[in-house]
Amino acid sequence: MIPTKRNFVFDFDSTLTRVEALDVLAEITLVNNPQKAEIIQEIVDITNLGIDGEISFTESLDRRIKLLNAKKSDLSLLIDELRKKVSTSIERNKEFFENYSEDIYVISCGFKEFIDDIVKDYNIPSERVYANTFEFDEDDRIIGFDADNVLSTHNGKIKCLKDLNLEGEVQVIGDGYSDYVTKEAGVADRFFAYTENVVRDRTIENADHIAPNFDEFLYVNKLPRNISYPKNRIKMLLLENVHPDAFAKLSKDGFTVETVSTSLSEDELIEKLKGVHVLGIRSKTQVTRKVIGSAKKLMAVGAFCIGTKQIDLDAAKENGVIVFNAPYSNTRSVVELAIGEIIMLMRSVFQRSTELHNGLWNKTAQGAKEVRGKKLGIVGYGNIGKQLSVLAEALGMKVYYYDVEDKLALGNAVRVEKLSELLSMADVITLHIDDNQANENFIGDDEFALMKEGAYLINLSRGFVVDMKALKKALEVGRLAGAAVDVYPKEPKANGDYYTELRGLPNVILTPHVGGSTEEAQKDIADFVPGKIMAYINSGNTVDAVNFPNIRLPRQVNAHRFLHIHKNVPGIMASINKVLAEFELNITGQYLSTDAKVGYVITDIDKEYNKKVIKALKKIEGTIKFRVLY
Nearest residue to 132 (alpha-carbon basis) of 65, 181, 78: 65
State the binding partner of 282 from ligand NAD, ligand 3PG, none, CB within 5 to 8 A by kind: ligand 3PG
Mark 443-472 with x for binding to ligand NAD (rule: CB under 6 A) and - for no binding.
Answer: -----------------xxx----------
- Residue 491 annotated among the catalytic residues of the structure: yes
Query: Toward ligand 3PG, which CB reaches closer, 14 or 330?
Result: 330
Among 40, 404, 505, 592, binds ligand NAD (CB under 6 A): 404
How many residues form the binding site for ligand 3PG (CB under 6 A)? Answer: 10
Q: Which residues within the stretch 474-513 sit at the binding site for ligand NAD (CB under 6 A)?
A: 486-487, 513
Q: Which residues contact 624 (CB under 8 A, 6 or more apart)?
A: 318, 319, 320, 565, 566, 567, 598
330 binds ligand 3PG (CB under 6 A): yes
**172 and 134 in contact (C-beta within 8 Å)?**
no
Distance CA 451, CA 446 (A): 9
Among 93, 182, 203, 283, binds ligand 3PG (CB under 6 A): 283
The distance of closest approach from Cβ of residue 386 to ligand 3PG in the complex, given in angstroms and rounded to an integer, is: 16
The distance of closest approach from Cβ of residue 515 to ligand NAD in the complex, given in angstroms and rounded to an integer, is: 3
The distance of closest approach from Cβ of residue 543 to ligand NAD in the complex, given in angstroms and rounded to an integer, is: 19
Point out the catalytic residue in the list 462, 561, 564, 627: 462
**Choices 118-126, 300-308, 378-386, 544-552 (CB under 6 A): range interacting with ligand 3PG:** 300-308
E strands in 153-207: 169-174, 190-194
Distance CA 435, CA 461 (A): 7
E strands in 371-437: 375-379, 398-402, 414-415, 428-431
Distance CA 523, CA 283 (A): 16
Number of Cβ within 10 Å of residue 608's Cβ equals: 9
Point out the catalytic residue in the list 91, 169, 355, 491: 491
3-state secondary structure 412-427: CCEECCCHHHHHHHCC
State the binding partner of 509 from ligand NAD, ligand 3PG, none, CB within 5 to 8 A by kind: none
| Ordered DSSP codes for 118-168 | HHHTTT--GGGEEEE-EEE-TT-BEEEE-TTSGGGSTTHHHHHHHHHT-SS
- Residue 555 annotated among the catalytic residues of the structure: no
517 binds ligand 3PG (CB under 6 A): yes
**Choices 30-38, 254-262, 330-338, 568-576 (CB under 6 A): range interacting with ligand NAD:** 330-338
**Choices 123-131, 281-289, 398-406, 567-575 (CB under 6 A): range interacting with ligand 3PG:** 281-289
Query: Toward ligand NAD, which CB reaches closer, 237 or 460?
Result: 460
Q: Which residues is 592 bridged to in the sheet?
A: 601
Distance CA 70, CA 79 (A): 14
Q: Which residues within the stretch 418-437 sit at the binding site for ligand NAD (CB under 6 A)?
A: 432-436
| Residues 578, 579, 585: CA angle, nearest 5 degrees | 100
513 binds ligand 3PG (CB under 6 A): yes
The distance of closest approach from Cβ of residue 464 to ligand 3PG in the complex, given in angstroms and rounded to an integer, is: 12
Among 144, 307, 492, 531, binds ligand 3PG (CB under 6 A): 307
Query: Toward ligand NAD, which CB reaches closer, 438 or 596?
Result: 438
Among 305, 465, 480, 508, binds ligand 3PG (CB under 6 A): 305
Query: Toward ligand 3PG, which CB reaches closer, 18 or 243?
Result: 243
Among 384, 397, 425, 443, binds ligand NAD (CB under 6 A): 384
Nearest residue to 113 (alpha-carbon basis) of 87, 76, 66: 76
Q: Which residues within the stretch 249-278 sit at the binding site for ligand NAD (CB under 6 A)?
A: none
Q: Which residues within the stretch 508-527 sit at the binding site for ligand NAD (CB under 6 A)?
A: 513, 515-516
**C-beta contacts of 488-492 below 8 A and 24+ residues apart:** 488/463, 488/513, 489/463, 489/464, 490/463, 491/283, 491/284, 491/463
State the binding partner of 197 from ligand 3PG, ligand NAD, none, CB within 5 to 8 A by kind: none
306 binds ligand NAD (CB under 6 A): yes
Query: Toward ligand 3PG, which CB reaches closer, 26 or 326?
Result: 326
The distance of closest approach from Cβ of residue 418 to ligand NAD in the complex, given in angstroms and rounded to an integer, is: 11
Query: Toward ligand 3PG, which CB reaches closer, 108 or 547?
Result: 547
Point out the catalytic residue in the list 154, 200, 282, 513: 513
SS3 assignment, position 455? strand
Q: Amino acid identity, residue 58?
A: T
- Residue 92 annotated among the catalytic residues of the structure: no
Distance CA 541, CA 29 (A): 46
Q: Computed over its alpha carbons, how large is the radius of gyration of the chain?
A: 32
Residue-wise burial string across 477-487, b where 16 or more C-beta atoms lie within 10 A, e elsewhere: eebbbbbbbbb
Number of Cβ within 10 Å of residue 382's Cβ equals: 18
Q: How many CA atoms lie within 13 A of 427 on its CB side?
A: 16
Query: Toward ligand 3PG, which CB reaches closer, 7 or 263?
Result: 263
Question: 401: burial class by Cβ within 10 Å (0-12, 13-18, 19+)?
Answer: buried
Helix (H) or strand (E) holding 352: helix 349-357
State the binding partner of 323 from ligand 3PG, ligand NAD, none, CB within 5 to 8 A by kind: none
Among 174, 302, 385, 549, binds ligand NAD (CB under 6 A): 385
State the binding partner of 103 from ligand NAD, ligand 3PG, none, CB within 5 to 8 A by kind: none
Distance CA 262, CA 274 (A): 18
Q: Amino acid identity, residue 170?
A: V
391 binds ligand NAD (CB under 6 A): no
Query: Toward ligand 3PG, which CB reaches closer, 399 or 487?
Result: 487
- Interacting residues toward ligand NAD by CB under 6 A: 306-307, 330-331, 334, 379-385, 402-405, 407, 432-436, 439, 442, 460-462, 486-487, 513, 515-516
Catalytic residues: 462, 491, 513
